[in-house]
Structures are given as structure tokens and as C-alpha cells.
Copies of this chain bind each other. A is one copy, B any other.
Amino acid sequence: MVRSKKKFDIIIEGGTLLTMVEGEEPTHNARVIISGDRIEAVSDRQNTPLPETGELINAEGAIILPGLINSHGHSPMTLFRGMADDLPLKSWLFEHIFPAEAKHINPDTVYWASLLACLEMIASGTTTSVDGYFLADAIVKAADKAGMRALVAQGVIDFPAPGVPDPKKNVDVALAFMERWIDLSDLITPGLFCHSPLTCAEKTLQQAHEISTRFDSPLQIHLSETREELTEIRKRTGLRPVFYLDDLGLLHSNVIAAHAIHLNEEEIDLLAERHVKIAHCPESNMKLGCGVAAIGRMLEKGVTVGLGTDGCASNNNLDLFAEMDTAAKLAKVANLDPTLLDARTVLKMATIGGARVIGLEDNIGTIQAGKKADIIIVDANTPHMTPMYNPYSQLVYSATGGDVRDVIINGKIVYRERRFTTLDSEEIMNEVKSLSREIGR
């Protein structure tokens, strides 16, 4: 084959390409050319000469798609994966998770547990994560080392928290965090994460909001996750949570609300009107017995929805393929309507939907010339992926994260033939295993 003289870095050839661009159908035998951190061209393999340079990735028998975007998570909680399951919500939080956090969360544990989360996310095709936790500097360092794209948010709560023993200092700590990382890199955006309308006072919410706006960074918040939150906020304020946040000026297009379960029709309308972004976390919502978010209604009303795994203590993995499958099936059974949240819609939520959630839709979420090269390749040459009539169905209903073969983030191959190129997986797993032996005592 004659190779063209133009020089590129990575050439992906063959397989089934899903660009996830609106209106574009799957194409077979495509070629995706990457130059530096960007997609240079998406072309037909037959009609264009193979460039002279560039690492060739053969994707025959595989599916090429945009990297998945995890719209809501708490990376360090991999440390507590499976530590306390199947418990009443209050006992889970107050007798297990909060005490474990108080005792074991420090910059070192956050760093290693976040690296473990990066391993898991990369290996299951997630190229961008939206993270919120305390001691978030260590999450930034982990994501930076891994080469992941991430919105990493420092938690804000009006209780003593890891790294912020005095809640009066929570906003100062958050501001310092923003200042420290705002210019770090193209890949990592610092942000703030208000724990919930229940655990942050009005003033705290407004101050966090003010800082987020100043840095033009998305503000994350848990919203209407539990019935208790709804009841308590109404008792305190006379308002349902969405209207309460609106009164505080907190509903706008740079706010990411996670969970959004206990909403009435007016609240959904208001979220739509204010262009608030929703991070849907079906597996966590199911496992904690919180309820079913009305995602079908939200999409009908034009709300932007992304998909999130939530933290590992309430899932217990970071596999967005499992999350897509569950999102589709949960909507269908909750509404007794098998047509709701079809496979393509759900895959959009996990790609371009997630990109819109964090305001990066011009740079990621689809495979198009000019966009950042965040691309994954999923092996389809396995029994459970055979035969293949519809690649969207296959990815959502048949695949798991374990089918991901190669991962490219920002033009860099971070996972190749199921091997990590930026991280030492044995070292990281051993460190976390060692930490877990202390915790398990």
C-alpha cells in the first residue's frame, strides 16, 4: 500500500465507526487520523491513501466510538468498594461511610484510590470524569498522572470533612483549590461540588456559586436524591429543592445536578428552562433504594442529561457500559414502556450528552475533524458481541467495560491491547490492597 507523505501520530483503521454526530449513521471500514491532541480527519479507508507516518491501530472486528464521559463520581471511594452494602441508607452513611472517611481519608489514600479509579475508568472506556470529593488536590494529581480528562471538584459542606476540619473554612479552602489548579493543563478543570441543599447552608451555596461563576467552572450539587431531602428542605424553606435553589440564583447552565430523582413536573420544567445539566446515576439510585429519575420526561423537555456511576461505594464499579444498560432498562420498566431510552439515546447520554453537561461539547463527545482525540475501541469479536445487527444495541445491551481494548485521550494512547501505558496497575492495586487491610481491621 502506498502511504501518503503527510505526517500524523495515530491512524485507526477498519471496524465500525460511530461518530455520535447527530444524523450520522455507523460507517464501516473507516479511517480516523489523529495529529497531536486532535482528530485530523475522518475518512473512508478505501478512498484515501494511508498516511506515511503514525502508529497504526487495526480496529477490524471492533467498534470505534468517542470516549465515554462519567458525569458524576467520587473517585476516592474506590477505597470503600464493597465495604458496606445492602444496608439501610442512614446506617450505611452514618455507621459505615462517614466513620470510614473520618478515619481513613487523607491525601495519600485519596491519591491511590483515585489512581485506582483512573485505572478502572480507562479500562472500561471512560476518557473524561466528573469528580467531586474532599482533598481534591490528590484527585487532580492522580488524574494528571493518568492522563485523563477530568472536571475535579473540591467538596463544600457545612460539616467537618476530610482536609477541612473546620467547616467555616470550607469556602476558603475551595477558593484556594480553584486558584491552585485553574491553569494546570488542557485536560483538567478544577471546580466546586456543593454536597447538597441539605448539608450546605444558603450562604455556603451562594459563595460556592459565586466562586464557580468567577472561574467560569461548572458547579456540581447532589439534588433531590432522597425523599428525606425533599421533606427536610420543604420544612426548612417551604419550597421544593429545585425552587429553593432557584431562589438562591443557583439554577443556570453551568450547574450540574446529580441524581434529580424526587422532582415534580414543575421542577423538571424549571430545570429545562434554566438549562441546568443533569447527571443521571441509575445504578446508585437503585442500589441505595432512592428511586427512579424521570429521564424520559427530562429528555422530552430538552434537558441535557449525562450518565454517571456515582462513587464506588454505591454501585460498586465505574463501568459506564453497565450504567448505559441499566439506564435504558430502568426507564423502560419504570414506565412499562420498552421504547423509552433506546440504545442510541443512551449512548448519546454517555458521550455527547456528557460533553454538554460539562460544557465541552465543542471539544469532545463526538468523533469529528478538529475535535480533541478522545476515542475508544471496543472488541466485538467475542461470543457475547456476536452477531452484530446494530452497534448501538451491541454497546448498550451486550457489551461490558471489559470489552474495551484501546483508549486514546487527548491524542495519547493510554490503554493499548488492554495494557495501561501511563499507570503501573500492579503498583496501584497493591497500594490500595494494602490500605484496605488497615480499613478492614
Residues of chain A whose beta carbon lies under 8 Å from any beta carbon of chain B:
78-79, 81-83, 85-89, 92, 116, 119-120, 123-124, 227, 283, 285-292, 315-319, 322, 325-326, 328-330, 332-333, 335-343, 381-384, 386-390, 393-394, 397-398, 400-403, 425, 428-429, 432-433, 435-436, 439-440
Contacts and interface: CB of A to CB of B under 8 A. Distances in A.
A384 B82 contact: no
A287 B329 contact: yes
A322 B393 contact: no
A383 B85 contact: no
14 contacts: A81-B387, A82-B388, A82-B390, A86-B342, A89-B338, A92-B338, A287-B332, A289-B338, A381-B429, A387-B433, A387-B436, A388-B436, A389-B436, A389-B439
A390 B339 CA distance: 37
Contact of A86 (B92, B291, B335, B343): B343
A23 to B, nearest CB: 18
A205 to B, nearest CB: 27
Given A86-B343, A333-B290, A436-B389, A322 B325 contact: yes
A120 B333 contact: no
A99 to B, nearest CB: 14
A237 B79 CA distance: 57
A255 to B, nearest CB: 26
The residue in A227, A287, A439 that gathers the most chain B C-beta atoms within 10 A of its C-beta is A287
**Residue of A87, A337, A384 contacting most chain B CB atoms (<10 Å):** A384
Contacts of A81: 386-389, 394, 398
Nearest to A390: B82
A123 B389 CA distance: 22
Max chain B C-beta neighbours (<10 A), residue from A81, A88, A322:
A81
A318 B394 CA distance: 13
Contacts of A87: 338-339
Contacts of A343: 85-86
Given A86-B342, A343-B85, A387 B319 contact: no
Contacts of A381: 429
Given A332-B287, A398-B317, A123 B387 contact: no
Contact of A82 (B329, B336, B393, B402): B393
Contacts of A288: 332, 338
B289 A337 contact: yes
Given A85-B390, A389-B82, A400 B397 contact: no
Nearest to A337: B289
Contacts of A383: 116, 119-120, 123, 425, 428-429
